[in-house]
Amino acid sequence: MTTVRNPVLRGFEPDPSILRVGDDYYLATSTFEFHPAVRLHHSRDLKHWTVLGHALDEGFDLRGVPDSGGVWAPSLSHSDGRFWLAYSIVRTMDGDDKDIDNYLVTAEDIRGPWSDPVHLGSRGFDFSFFHDTDGTHWIVGVQWDQRPEHPSFGGLVLEQYLPDEGRTSGTATVIHQAPTLIEGPNLYRIGEWYHLLIAAGGTGWNHAITSARSRQLHGPYERDPAPFVLTARDAPGAPLQKAGHGELVQTPNGEWVLAHLAARPVLHLGERYSTLGRETCLQAVRFDEDGWLRLADGGHHGALEPEFDVTEEESAEEDPAEWTEDFGAPLDTRRWSTLRAPLSPETADPWTRPGWLRLRGGHSTASVFDQSMLLTRVREHRARFETRLDANPRSVRESAGVIAWYDRRSWIQLQLTWDAENGRHLRVVSRDEGRTARSEPIAVPSGALKLRADLEGAELRFSWASPERDEWDPVPGTFAAWTLSDDHGGRLRFTGMLLGLRADDLDGRGWSADFGCTHVRFDPGE
């Protein structure tokens, strides 16, 4: 037996799509506006997971998409000797309107190369593939209705995919509707039944998984008599909140496993904030005597340490909780992400000054095009991010430093900049729902500096030092890390906190900053 510690993918890793091929488990997660897109993970024992890479990397460009737009809910499957990956690109989220394009790419190897995308239409989002036993292929997803007097979530629709013609049939059938919000559907044929796994209640505190079933592919689908397969909506103190949006996989010995998203919130003044975003968990499940899906241990609350009847691989590798980047090789995109598009070699240059990354300044934090920023996902509520910075700003429009990022309206940065009153100095600049705050300036000596960000639950602290000194000078005050969460503000937000390096050149004159050895540590507190 293997005991798994949830979440198995920690930090911003939502909307898991899980698959087994032989003895290997693969799992894809959403990336939204971040690049590369669609993170791919691998395990052989369900306990130890590593990031293999991304399906949408070179040549993939999301410039112009809104915050929390971009790539939603990938669906990973395997049929006809190939991996299939369906995904949505959300290009507009404006009131009743959503502009969405759905695509399919395939590959013989999970590491690629992946095919050119096939357009699957723009009917809605959360589309997943179902490969029936008769050799036909289907997509099931959410149909969006933009009419203000109608429910936006217009039901779950089924449409055939014709691989020989590289297109969908063009005719979709509504197979399930509900009075409440439902999305994230996945179809499975188990025995004589078609089982429909459904995300319900929206991806917040009321999130849940429900199910329905039919003996016919096109329905009618009978709703599960139990209200939920999985939820934490009735348990606000449970460690795994927002549990929902799941997929099933079967082990070689026939055991069923549910992969789902959840969140581990922190408290600030009694309110919950999911600063790490939505994470990926696993649960042991079974089908009861009436044929309905249930958690193996009963109830509908997810377990922190479920057990699975699989053999644990003692030599298995995991992505480390502590690592150092010395910029001696091309950037490892399994660790580092950028916004919407890759940074060009001219923008992120590790060659001109060995051991340093020369980051040419980019657009402001408000841009949906060319920001110059390198980010890594925050995986625990206690984290440290430390780097060296060598830069010489000569204008209020030039700055560089360490940033804690959620999106364009929510971030906190310790930045090195210049102005006529203070000369070269450090200060903390933050944005909260569009409002910008600036701390008092801190005079610093010329030359390189060491910068540090420490995350401590709902708070963030900064400090700095000269390279030759072991003592760190704290920046006065603490800063509101809880604002960098899904739950802050009045907008829909779906990602998570990231820490990283940033350079701004708002005059576009080619100014750059050099970042040296960078150390990252996540403390699970166990």
Q: Which residues are catalytic?
A: 15, 183
> Based on C-alpha coordinates, what's the Rg of the chain?
23
Given the structure tokens 């036909």, which residue do they identify? 136
Tell me how far the alpha carbon of residue 5 is from its chain's centroid.
19
CA 243 – CA 230 distance, rounded (Å): 7
Query: Residues in the chain, how many?
Result: 526
- Token readout for 271 is 């309110």
In this structure, what token pair is assigned to residue 44?
A: 């052989």
Backbone angles phi, psi at 481, to 5 degrees: -65, -25
Pairwise CA distance, residues 61 & 66, whole Å: 13
Q: Which of 116, 113, 90 is nearest to 105 (CA)?
A: 116
456-464 — which CB contacts under 8 Å span 24+ positions? 456/381, 456/382, 456/481, 457/266, 457/381, 457/382, 457/481, 458/266, 458/267, 458/268, 458/273, 458/275, 458/482, 460/404, 460/412, 462/402, 462/414, 462/428, 464/414, 464/426
Q: Is residue 327 within 8 Å of residue 356, measured between CB atoms?
A: yes
Q: DSSP letters along 89-117, please? A: EEEEEETTEEEEEEEEEEESSTT-PPPPP
Distance of CA 391 to the CA centre of its chain: 31
**Closest to 500 measured CA to CA, from 336, 388, 362:** 336
**DSSP labels for 253-312?**
TS-EEEEEEEE--EEETTEEE-TT--EEEEEEEEE-TTS-EEETTSSSSPPSS-EESS--
| Structure tokens given for 295 | 């958690």
